[in-house]
Chains A and B, each alone.
Chain A
Amino acid sequence: MDFILASIPRTCILFSALAMLGVSAPLHAQENYFVTYSHELEEPGNLEIAAKSVTGAPQDGNPFVATALEFEYGIKTWWTTELYLDGQNTAGESTVFTGFRVENRVRPLLREHWINPVLYFEFENINGADKALLEVVGHDTREDFLTRNDRSEKAREAEFKLILSSNFKGWNVSENIIAEKNLDNSPWEFGYAVGASRTLALAASAKPCKFCRENFALGAEMYGGLGERYSFGLADTSHYLGYVVTWNIPRGPTLRLSPNFGLNDNSHGFLFRFMLSYEIDQIFSKMRSNP
């Protein structure tokens, strides 16, 4: 527990600093999941800063906490770009920076449909010590986490996702199909993520409140690998089921928690994900008007 708590102050300092900078009227993160993406994009001009963390204690390995610091910016209503900086700390080993990711999400259809597609492109330059677990593909298993932190193995990967998402009656249902390729001529790896979530109240209450039901969303997501080009399927893959609780604090940050359970022997038995995010609206307009 001390190990997890040790990682929290840095996050708190970051968000306290944002609050002290006079960043007012924050909006809220669009996603209601950790791994699954929906078709909601960042509002143009807004910057969301989020610390997404995952902690686990693999059998026969050392407990770890990995954090991806995320900067998400809405370029257009139909185009969002993100930068992730990954790092992790493994008990008894070390704290290391493990790489970066740049991703873009583009919404090709400009209207709301029954199913809304989003195209996702990502380049990641990470090393073998990365434990952020932002997706599971190919034959990723818990055994990848048993070797000591080793940054010598580099992975420059391109990742593509087809995001399909629907909103109806307060529910969001999202499906992601993932294809990832290490650019050193390794075969394509595949994965999936699906999620469903709903706010606790469909109508808003008239009075201001932090604990109103409309500020909370509950959901679940399932994700895992689907093998690779030459061994497509469920053999030697890992899969997880996670429950997600999101609390959008009015005029404040968003807090999200998610216990995740491994669904087979290749998976970690238990992972706990937590996220704190803060959205700065119209950041460049503010910078221009307050030089």
Chain B
Amino acid sequence: MTSRNTRRFGPLLLILALAGILFAEPGEGEWLHKVPARDRGRTNPFASDSDAPAAGAKIFAEHCASCHGEDAEGKIQGKHVRPNLHADRIKTAKPGELFWLLTNGSLKNGMPSWSRLPEAQRWQLISYLKSLP
């Protein structure tokens, strides 16, 4: 009976154990240290596009405002703190670093990957973030 149970639940336990190891990632803010140099050096192709912040604001309202607030002021949702995007950390971050974060997310900290947005829209979103006061 025991060996039957082991056979039945063994793979599930293995998956859970692997998941535990995989999710032992650095905490909030430490994602910056994880950005590969190649990604860090990427420049925003929409940097000189005067419409990009407005387009980015639209994308932000649609996909990001529910967590980060309508004005990107951040939110506390239960025990989760959704960062204020007017923070210095965002202002000083390089466009390539923000692009890496949007693409990969920070799944352990509740930030989803936004790779489903086309690259152009991710860059427009960064233009909006960089335009925040």
Contact = CB atoms under 8 A, between A and B. Distances in A.
A30 to B, nearest CB: 7
Interface in B47-105: 51-52, 54-56, 58-59, 61-63, 65-67, 77-78, 103-105
A202 B118 contact: yes
Interface residues of B, number: 38
A202 B123 CA distance: 11
Interface stretch (A36-44, A82-90, A91-99): A36-44
A221 B76 CA distance: 40
A28 B63 CA distance: 8
A167 B15 CA distance: 25
A206 B55 contact: yes
Given A111-B104, A251-B62, A77 B112 contact: yes
A282 B121 contact: no
B55 A204 contact: yes
A204 B112 contact: no
Interface centre among B15, B25, B58 (most CB of A within 10 A): B58
A285 B77 contact: yes
Given A77-B107, A110-B107, A203-B55, A27 B66 contact: yes
What are the 6 closest A-B residue pairs judged by CB atoms, nearest first?
A281-B66, A203-B120, A206-B54, A170-B118, A206-B51, A202-B118
10 contacts: A25-B61, A76-B110, A77-B108, A110-B108, A203-B46, A203-B118, A203-B121, A205-B51, A206-B51, A207-B54
Given A110-B22, A170-B118, 8 more contacts: A27-B63, A44-B110, A77-B113, A109-B22, A110-B105, A111-B104, A112-B104, A207-B54
